[in-house]
Amino acid sequence: MWLTYRAWVTDYQPIVLEEQASSSEQQLPEILVEGTELTPDLSAVLSSDNTPQQSLSAPVRIRTDVFDVTIDKQGGDLVRVDLPGYPVDKDVPDVPMRLLDFVDAERWVFQSGLRTVEEDIEPNHLATFQSARPEYVLGLDEEELQVSLNWEEEGPLAAEKVYTFRRGQYSIELKMLLENRSDVIWRGAAYAQMVRRNIPLDRSFTDVDSYSFRGPVLSDGNGYEKLDVDDLAETPLVQSNVGGWLAGIQHHFVAAVVPPPDEQINYQASVRGSDYVITALSGVKEIPPGGELEFVFQLFVGPKLQNQLAATGNKLEQTVDYGKLTILSQPLFWLLSKAHSYVGNWGLAIILVTLLIKLAFYKLTAASGRSMAKLRQLQPRMKALQEQYKDNREELTRKTMEMYKREKVNPAAGCLPILIQMPFFFAFYWVLIESVEMRQAPFMLWINDLSTRDPFFILPVLNGAAMFFQQKLNPSPATDPMQAKVLQFMPVAFSVMFAFFPAGLVLYWLTNAVLSIAQQWRINKLVAGQ
């Protein structure tokens, strides 16, 4: 009840905006707030439709060990990102996963720039930048690659965007530099935003990708909120916080903008046509004549690797969406990762973690198993009572309860271990669904991807057979023939249901069933010999 209350408070607490400075000269050129006018024309720039063309004029290409990136000189922003290490399909390894893209139908881009309070000319995401080279490649002996783009406008301001790519890292540093060459103070703000075409997912029982949330999220530094695009179309979201970030997430992958963690940042989320837009805008900055401004955003474009996400932004690793069972899923993922570091195979790691979970619940399941074994021994006496009191249901129930009490057995004891293990089952389910490490991870033989269903349905059939034998080791509910028939049908029902679950999850359930069979068989032997 307490956790539910805290979750409700987190979800529905009122948004309090920080008050701006009273001086009109220090007023931040705010992100769009419904019903207010922005100065000077900030809303027109930040809300500019700016629909990109199907091709770019003189783009800049960057290639590293993990990226193939395209930067558009208009705005100097990332407009296409391919991930060579993550093919769309394991059978077609040369077609990489594409996250950002400027093509209108799949539009998903970053936009960034600097806004000025007094001037009309500024290095925003509509301005043109120039690069010294059309292509940059991270050398085999290099750990870092810097790409600079300079604002080409002549005037009292000079601006530069510097991207820093690091070997093996999916985080990208974006440093925006502004030099004030005029004889007056420059006042303005830095911003970065993400624009993405809203493509609703069609939920499908057979499509694992459709299980996960796809859309915009916004963090306040403590947790993050999944934003409903339909709600944003009616009421744009505006808030201000320290230590937050914005992102677009989908199954296994994320693109995020992380402002400096110690600065007050203003956020807006809204809908523009078929796109949703999330903007992060800094507080007002001042540059004296001859001075310079440096503002740094961290960008993340890639797979949901929790260590890299945590190093990039405050609690950015929470974009690995384990849902309400995160408190169980994260330790399970840590344990699974440790097991993988020893065995080198995610399928073997699943089996090992299942064994460890079984050991953790051993005493509980052993006590239940002994009760079930004793109950199994009482089956002949149960049938005798049924025959004796077949016309007196009330007396049969009373005699049965007396026998249970006298023999010190509890027919409901077998339910307790199952109920306790269910949260772990669902937590492990989300670990295997959401963890990108499982994506296209092979096991052995015909299982070449633990994150998708068994292509030949062998594991679900084996799991159904294991459930059938597990039932045979336990006493049947002799007092209720209908319940007995329902339980006999359960292995078939579970086989059908598990047929579309990730192979890794079915492997976990099958391993658990086999271990339970071995444990119950041993207990039955011990009880029978007493």
Number of H helices, E strands in the chain: 13, 20
Helix, strand, coil content of the chain in percent (nearest 5) = 40, 30, 35
SS3 letters across 295-319: EEEEEEEEECCHHHHHHHCCCHHHH
Output the pLDDT for position 44.
Answer: 47
For residue 87, tell me if it sits in a domain. yes
The residue behind tokens 């916080």 is 241
Answer yes or no: do 287 and 355 share one domain.
Answer: no
Task: Give a yes or no: residue 73 inside a domain.
Answer: yes
Please tell me whether residues 446 and 514 are part of one structural domain. Answer: yes
Q: Which residue do the tokens 């391919």 mark?
A: 82
Give me the pLDDT at residue 476, please: 57
Q: Same domain, yes or no, for 290 and 346?
A: no
pLDDT of residue 132: 92
pTM, two decimals, is: 0.80
| Domain co-membership, 274 together with 363 | no
Residue 509 neighbours by CB under 8 Å, 6+ apart: 425, 463, 498
Question: Do 399 and 450 fall within a single domain?
Answer: yes
pLDDT in the model for residue 20: 32
- A 10 A CB-CB count for 370 gives 18
Regarding whether 378 and 293 lie in a shared domain, the answer is no
Verify that 291 and 429 share a domain, yes or no. Answer: no
The 3 state secondary structure assigned to 133-199 is CCEEECCCCCCEEEEEEEECCCCCEEEEEEEEEECCCCEEEEEEEEEECCCCCEEEEEEEEEEEECC
User: Is residue 154 domain-resident?
Assistant: yes
Please report whether residue 4 resides in a domain: no
| Owning domain of residue 502 | 330-528
Asked if 287 and 340 sit in the same domain, the reply is no
Residues 42 and 169 in one domain: yes
Q: Are strands 135-137 and 60-63 parallel, antiparallel or unpaired?
A: parallel
For residues 435 and 291, state if they share a domain: no
Task: Say what the pLDDT of residue 78 is.
Answer: 94
**How many separate domains does the chain show?**
2
Answer yes or no: is 34 within a domain. yes
Spacing of C-alpha 471 from chain mean position: 37
The answer to the question of residue 248 being in a domain is no
Residues 283 and 388 placed together within one structural domain of the fold: no
Q: What per-residue confidence (pLDDT) applies to 469?
A: 78
502 Cβ contact partners less than 8 Å away, ≥ 6 residues apart: 208, 432, 433, 438, 450, 451, 452, 453
CB atoms within 10 A of CB 248: 24
Report the pLDDT value the prediction gives residue 321, as an integer from 0 to 100. Answer: 86
- The DSSP letter of residue 24 is G
List, as one string, the DSSP characters of 307-374: HHHHHHSTTGGGGS--GGGHHHHHHHHHHHHHHHHHHS-HHHHHHHHHHHHHHHTHHHHHHHHHHHHH
Whether residue 493 is contained in a domain is answered as yes
- Strands 171-180 and 224-226, how do they pair? unpaired
Is residue 407 domain-shared with residue 277, that is, in the same domain?
A: no
**Running along the chain, 530 residues long, what does each successive block of 10 average in pLDDT?**
51 35 36 31 48 66 95 93 92 90 91 86 91 93 95 87 96 95 91 91 62 88 88 91 93 94 93 93 92 95 94 92 86 92 92 86 66 65 70 72 70 66 81 87 86 84 82 59 67 78 86 81 61
